[in-house]
Amino acid sequence: MDEAGLPGLYESQWYGWFAPKDTPGNVIVRLNAAVMNALAAPAVRQRLADIACEIPPPEEQTPKPSARCRKPDIEKWWPIVKQANIKAR
């Protein structure tokens, strides 16, 4: 990004599933189990490997580790989003 004229802009990608904040815990558990089951399927793992996506180990595929992973991005980008007055649709 330095060469493109955006020095200091270093970013990585990650993917996750989100639910409304008032989603019951038992629903989150069921959804998370379904996602983990899908990520364990050989065909899914191969397809993600084919497109260079890394699958975190199972112990990192739950809400708390995912939140820790997102925290630095939120701390970095939230002030910029607020200052730019960016709103979700």
Q: What tens digit of pLDDT does each residue of 56-65 get?
A: 899 889 888 8
pTM: 0.68
* Rounded distance between C-alpha atoms, residue 49 and residue 31, angstroms: 23
Half-sphere CA count of 43, side-chain side, radius 13 A: 1
Q: What is the pLDDT of residues 17-41, one digit of tens each?
A: 889 989 999 999 999 999 999 999 9
The length of the chain, given as a count of residues? 89
* Rounded distance between C-alpha atoms, residue 14 and residue 35, angstroms: 15
* Rounded distance between C-alpha atoms, residue 62 and residue 43, angstroms: 21
For residue 36, what pLDDT is reported?
Answer: 94
Task: Name 14's Cβ contacts closer than 8 Å, sequence gap at least 6.
Answer: 69, 70, 73
Domains of the chain, by residue range, sit at: 1-89
* Rounded distance between C-alpha atoms, residue 18 and residue 10, angstroms: 24
Residue 67 CA: distances (Å) to CA of 9, 61, 73, 75: 22, 10, 10, 12
